[in-house]
Structure 1
Amino acid sequence: MTDRLTIEELASLMKKGAGISVDPADMANRPDSAFDEWGLDSLGLLGIVGELENRHSRPLPSDADKCKSPREFLDLVNTALTAGT
């Protein structure tokens, strides 16, 4: 498993954790669109953070669930995962 979260994986987590179907290609074309435009609320994002923490056996930054867009979330998560924090 790679230590980088992709748009495709994020879309899959949104489906699994929040029941929201998002086309990864569409999200890749609009990475700065707010999560609420995709139908994901803060509770759904918190669930995704929890899933990633379990998957990688380490905590993500405490502000990960406050990210507003896919790009912001991916940047924060991938920086944390590659830094080993």
Structure 2
Amino acid sequence: MAILATAADERISDVRIDDDYLTVELMDGRIISAPLAWYPRLLNASPDQRARWERAGGGYGLHWPDLDEDLSTEGLLRGAPARAA
């Protein structure tokens, strides 16, 4: 039996953050959502600080320059919360 698999593209397309969740859209159409409580720097940031994110690592990572916070699609897909300070 043949299985048709499309190529996964784990680069980041868009990011949304509300009061409860970090939601990341990937180029291949997948959506990753994680509790904002897993990322204390984002949880405690202002909406303006949360909105100032940049793609990093060739599109496989996120960086918030105002918060010195970095996340990767690999970690998000594994369900890895931020390390304790």
Q: Shorter-chain-normalised TM-score: which range?
A: under 0.3
Higher RCO (CA < 8 A, seq sep 6+): 1
Q: What TM-score, normalized to structure 2?
A: 0.27
Higher helix share: 1
